[in-house]
Amino acid sequence: MNKELKRQLILSGILVCFIISTLFLWYNNFMFHTYVNTDDYQYCFAGGNEELSIDGYQFYKNKEGQKHGNARIIALKDQFLLKDDSIHVIVTSLKDKDLVFEHQLSVKGDNEVLTLSEDETKEKLSENDLTQLSVQIIIKRQNKTVYDQTVPLQKQDVYTYNGANKDYAISNVYVTSSWLKTGDFSSKIKNIEKQYPYMIIDYLYLKDNGQQDNINDYERFAYIKGKTADILKNTNRISVYYDEQGSLLDRPINCVVTLMKDDKQQKGYTFMLELHGSLKVVDDHE
Amino acid sequence: MSKARKDMITIYMFRNALATLFAAFASFMISLIHYYQCTFAEALQRLFVFDIYTTLYFLLIWLFDYLIFEISKIIYDIYEEKVTFLPCIALLVLCGVIFFIPILDLFQYNLCILFLLICLRMVKEMWKRTPELFKWAHRLVDQRKKRPESGLK
């Protein structure tokens, strides 16, 4: 064998060994960051007229199931909703008239902000079914119908935000111009729930004219607090609404994660995850 | 020498690096599109924009591919005189077998494309250095050329 070739072969062999060992060492980290769980689909609708506004009507499917609902209804006129009114909400797909989703609720106080229930979706939905929706709202007061209107629901552009550092990640935060659904928290560290049994995740957006680097210029508008073991299961996601001027999509959003050894917020370990990515949620599904 | 020609030569010099880059890129894209059921553009974002760790791993895989490709060249040079079609066939079989080994699909695609590239290069070198192995091919080409002539006359 030629001496030169032998030398080249040995050098390449050593380099390959280095690369393979690095590939092995980084493998878990790579898997944690590259192949994250995603939901099957997520839609968000909003609409309204002069009297009522309905925000954040969702259709989603993830590993826990297929659900719809969970919207916020606000009366835009004073004394429009009174105590003991009963409200019947019927959401219909204009493409498929058989697709009807009903919600029933009662008003517990004057001008109350109402939240629709979140129900299991039994029908198999396709993207085509959810292109055009309308909502019929019937308000009954002392067994008389005082209001019956149908309002079209607009499909909103939903973006997925993600944020991660080496060991922790927040993924699948869904954001529209006026609504945010908190995401999944995951960690690469084993037994983190034993090390830090309690935790809080705060969602913050940058205030007007605020400095992006200054944490005091951020407004906290959602938080999840609880046992780390529960939060890691990602079953307690919440929806929040952004009622300021402009679009939430134009504001930087950050998460502050506080891991705690006890629930008294002492001996905490706090870090910030910048949310970014803004990938539009894939709309088409079967 | 014209500028375009110079550029062409530079690209030719880097052909191995570009080929292995293609292997790494294609395997990442196939794997990401398959996993997320997403578009090419989204997979591209996930590879280069989304996460630094994914991008770094991609570069590492590229480096790995390049080194393996170089090693295959050195081994070819060592056994230049004894070379037959056997290693080529063995590599092609490996391309198929790799999909039955339970590893991440990214590695399966990557190794498969890499082996195909090594095969291609091997065939190219054999064509250049040991033309006697391709007598059958020449005969086939000759036959093809002759046939229409005799047919027309």
Asked whether the beta carbons of residue A277 and residue B50 sit closer than 8 angstroms, the reply is yes
Does residue A17 fall inside a structural domain? no
* Chain B residue numbers touching A41 (CB-CB < 8 A): none
Quick check: A162 pLDDT over 80?
yes
Q: Number of folded domains in chain A?
A: 2
Both structure tokens of B123: 């065939």
Nearest-CB residue to B74 (from A8, A26, A282): A8
- What mean pLDDT, rounded, does chain A reach? 86
- How high is the ipTM of this complex? 0.81
Q: Is residue A18 part of a domain?
A: no
Nearest to B54 among A5, A20, A33 (CB): A33
Residues A92 and A176 in one domain: no
B50 touches A: beta carbon within 8 Å: yes
Last residue of a domain, one of A89, A123, A156: A156
pLDDT band for A128, please (50, 70, 90 cuts).
Answer: confident
Q: Does A21 touch chain B (CB under 8 A)?
A: no
* A123 shares a domain with A70: yes
Q: Given an 8 Å threshold on Cβ–Cβ distance, is B78 in contact with A1?
A: yes
- Higher pLDDT pick, B57 / A131: B57
Q: Indicate if the pLDDT at residue A284 is higher than 60.
A: no
Q: Are A36 and A48 in contact (CB under 8 A)?
A: no
| Residue A144 forms part of a structural domain | yes
Are the C-beta atoms of residues A126 and A283 closer than 8 Å to each other? no
- Minimum mean pLDDT range among A18-27, A126-135, A216-225, B92-101: A126-135
The reported pTM is 0.78
Domain that holds residue A93: 41-156
Sheet strands (E) in chain A: 41-48, 52-62, 65-69, 72-75, 86-93, 100-106, 114-115, 118-120, 133-141, 144-155, 159-164, 168-175, 179-181, 184-187, 198-206, 218-227, 239-241, 253-260, 269-274, 276-280
Check A279 against B45: CB less than 8 A apart: yes
- Contact: A279, B42; criterion CB under 8 Å: yes
A222, A248 contact by CB (below 8 A): no
Give the chain A residue nearest B47 (alpha carbons): A34
* Residue A201 bridge partners (DSSP): A224, A257
- Give the per-residue pLDDT at A264: 74
A225-229, A266-270, B32-36: range with lowest mean pLDDT? A266-270
Q: What is the pLDDT along chain B (153 residues), one digit of tens a residue?
A: 677 888 877 777 788 899 999 999 999 999 999 998 888 988 898 899 878 899 999 999 999 999 999 999 888 888 877 777 888 899 999 999 999 999 999 999 999 999 999 999 988 888 888 777 777 777 888 777 765 555 554
Residues A141 and A252 occupy one common structural domain: no
Q: Is residue A7 one of the residues assigned to a domain?
A: no
Chosen domain end from A104, A129, A156: A156
- Note whether A172 and A135 are same-domain residues: no
Q: What is the pLDDT of residue B147?
A: 59
Quick one: pLDDT at residue B57?
A: 95
Chain A residues closer than 8 Å to B74 by CB? 5, 8-9, 12
> Stretch A94-98: mean pLDDT, rounded?
82
Question: Are A117 and A149 members of one domain?
Answer: yes
The confidence score (pLDDT) of residue A166 equals 87
> A207 and A275 share a domain?
yes
Residues 228-247 of A with CB under 8 A from B: none
A79 within a domain of the structure (yes/no) = yes
The share of chain A scoring above pLDDT 70, in percent, equals 95
The answer on A167 and A146 residing in a single domain is no
For residue A254, is it within any domain?
A: yes
Q: What is the pLDDT of residue A204?
A: 92
> Is the minimum CB–CB distance between B27 and chain A shorter than 8 Å?
no
CB neighbours (10 Å) of residue B96?
Answer: 10
Whether residues A152 and A172 share a domain: the answer is no
**pLDDT tens readout for residues A11-60:** 999 999 999 999 999 999 999 988 888 878 889 999 988 888 999 899 98
A193 and A268 part of one domain: yes
Residues A50 and A107 in one domain: yes
> Does residue A34 lie in a domain region?
no
* Residue A36: partners with Cβ closer than 8 Å, 6 or more residues away: A162, A169, A171, A172, A184, A186
Neighbours of B13 (CB within 10 A): 10
Contact A13 B42 (CB under 8 A): no
Within 10 Å of residue A41's Cβ, how many Cβ atoms? 21
Q: Is A38 on the interface with B (CB under 8 A)?
A: yes
The answer on A176 and A195 residing in a single domain is yes
Structural domain ending residue among the three candidates A136, A156, A176: A156
**Closest CA–CA distance from residue B151 to any residue of chain A (Å):** 52
What is the pLDDT, as a whole number, of residue A277?
Answer: 64
Q: Rounded to an integer, what is the distance from CA A48 to the centroid of its chain? A: 22
For every residue of A55-102, DSSP letters joined together read: EEEEEEEETTEEEEE--EEEESSTTSS-TT-EEEEEEEESS-TT-EEE
Probe site for chain B from A12, A186, A275, A278 (most B CB atoms < 10 A):
A12
Pair (A107, A201) in one structural domain: no
Output the domain CATH number for residue A126.
2.60.40
Instruction: With cut-offs at 50, 70 and 90, classify the pLDDT of residue A142.
Output: confident
Q: Which two tokens stand for residue B141?
A: 């080409």
CA distance from start to end of chain B: 47
Q: Give the tens place of pLDDT for each residue, A178-200.
A: 899 999 999 988 888 888 889 99
